[in-house]
Amino acid sequence: MALVANCLLNQNAKVCQGAHYAGLVSPVVEVLRKRGYVLQQLPCPELAFAGVRRWWAVYEQYDTPAYRTHCRRLAQAIAPLIEGYLRRGDEVILIGLDGSPSTGVRFTSSKPEWGGRPNRPRMTGRSSRARACGSRNWRLSWRAGLTAPAGDRVALDMGRFDEAGSRRDLEQFLDSRETTEGSRDDGPAAP
Amino acid sequence: MNVDARGWRMALVPDALINPPERARTALPDVLGVLEASGYGVLQLPPKAGMACCWR
């Protein structure tokens, strides 16, 4: 099961001037389908909050009580579904979007003092646990005893988009998952 | 940012067409492939059981 950021299946959800594809982000979809993942599109917190004609923003601009409440509501709604998959023992992965203030997994755009004109902000590398708003809010809803899905990201919002590099990263992440799953299936090593 | 490739085309697609059951796979067209080739983005409708609460 691959939980994918909304805009990986629908580039119309992107901020103005942020769409790299007409519709689907085909390299991501192709890689996941080829490996047999079931796709589950996540809701886009920004689209539902600010609409399709919004400009891009940094983490701090969305870090408001109203947006946190909004993200929490979305997360709490979808968490039971994910919990069901996890309890069933499915492998669940999360494919987010590096550079996004809401769905970044490893990086989010950050500039605390910035506001006003929507110039491109600098990108700051921070762990998802600390700064990626969407991921953090998903984590708020994991029930006790469940582990949050392993996550990877496509660097669509990192300034210069490198399609081949992103695809390679995703494949490496999935390869590492397969290796882990494979070794788990082998059972404990003989003493 | 100065390019925007969005197609302004969106398709509401049932989960069963995005993730068809194994036995139906050969009978159904590759919906995602067709939509991708036509420049459509996808809004995935919830699976039959379990997610209706997310989209109120």
For A127-180, how does the pLDDT look when each residue is reduced to its tens digit (9 = 90+)?
333 343 344 434 433 333 345 566 666 666 666 677 888 888 888 888 887 776
- Better pLDDT: A101 or A177: A101
CB A139 within 8 A of CB A131: no
* Token output for B28: 């159904």
CA-based nearest residue in chain A for residue B34: A24
Rounded distance, CA A93 to CA A5, Å?
A: 11
DSSP summary character for residue A108 = E
CB A92 within 8 A of CB A100: no
* Token output for B8: 């302004």
- Better pLDDT: B34 or A159: B34
Do the Cβ atoms of B36 and A24 come within 8 Å?
yes
Compute how many other C-beta atoms are within 10 angstroms of the C-beta atom of residue B8: 14
Would you state the torsion angle of the CA atoms of residues A18, A162, A4, A39, taken in this order, to the nearest 10 degrees? 120
Do the Cβ atoms of B1 and A81 come within 8 Å?
no
pLDDT of A121 > 60? The answer is: no
User: Per-domain residue ranges for chain A?
Assistant: 2-178
CA-based nearest residue in chain A for residue B4: A17
CB A58 within 8 A of CB A132: no
Q: What is the ipTM of this complex?
A: 0.84
Rounded distance, CA A179 to CA A189, Å?
A: 15
Q: Which long-range contacts (CB under 8 A, 24 or more apart) does A143-149 make?
A: A143/A79, A143/A83, A146/A83, A146/A86, A146/A87, A147/A86, A148/A94, A149/A3, A149/A82, A149/A86, A149/A92, A149/A93, A149/A94
What's the whole-number mean pLDDT along residues A37-63?
92
- Give the closest-approach CA distance of A180 to chain B in angstroms: 24
- Give the closest-approach CA distance of A45 to chain B in angstroms: 12
**pTM (2 decimals)?**
0.77
How many helices and strands in chain A, by DSSP H and E? 8, 6
Which of B4, B9, B44 is opposite residue A16, by nearest beta carbon?
A: B4
